[in-house]
């Protein structure tokens, strides 16, 4: 059950988040058409994308309402999955040319 002191209920909570995500997407389009050097453009686009992803996860996947211990337990699991994915990339490059190392 939701706490009645939280204020907004239902879709009213998600509309500002949606508008902010639209603004961040517009910012990314604007950054793409600016004449920044490659490293600065990569860093700024990556920062905006990470912030957008975190915002979407927190509100649209309801992680903001979860206990913090559950949220922080997902970080090592995500790092583990990314590291395990790193183990199979070498095989995918090897199989691209269909020859052993």
Q: What is the pLDDT of residues 34-78, one digit of tens each?
A: 989 999 999 999 999 999 998 888 888 777 777 878 778 888 888
CA angle 43, 45, 51 (to 5 degrees): 100
Strands (E) located in 1-101: none
Measured at the CA of 97, the angle between CA 91 and CA 100, to 5 degrees, comes to 55
Total-model pTM: 0.61
One domain for residues 16 and 55: yes
Identify the band that residue 28 occupies on the pLDDT scale cut at 50, 70 and 90: very high
CA distances from 61 to 14, 26, 41, 57, 93 (A): 11, 22, 29, 5, 34
The parent domain of residue 81 ranges over: 67-101
Report the SS3 class of residue 51: helix
| Same domain (yes/no): 39, 75 | no
């Amino acid at each position: 059950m939701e706490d009645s002191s939280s204020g907004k209920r239902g879709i009213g909570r998600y509309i500002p988040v949606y508008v902010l995500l639209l603004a961040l997407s517009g910012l990314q389009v604007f950054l793409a058409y600016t004449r920044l050097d490659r490293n600065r453009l990569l860093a700024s686009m990556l920062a905006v994308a990470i912030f957008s992803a975190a915002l979407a996860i927190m509100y649209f996947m309801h992680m903001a309402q979860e206990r913090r211990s559950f949220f922080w337990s997902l970080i090592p699991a995500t790092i583990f999955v990314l590291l395990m994915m790193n183990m199979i990339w070498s095989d995918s490059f090897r199989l691209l040319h269909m020859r052993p190392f």
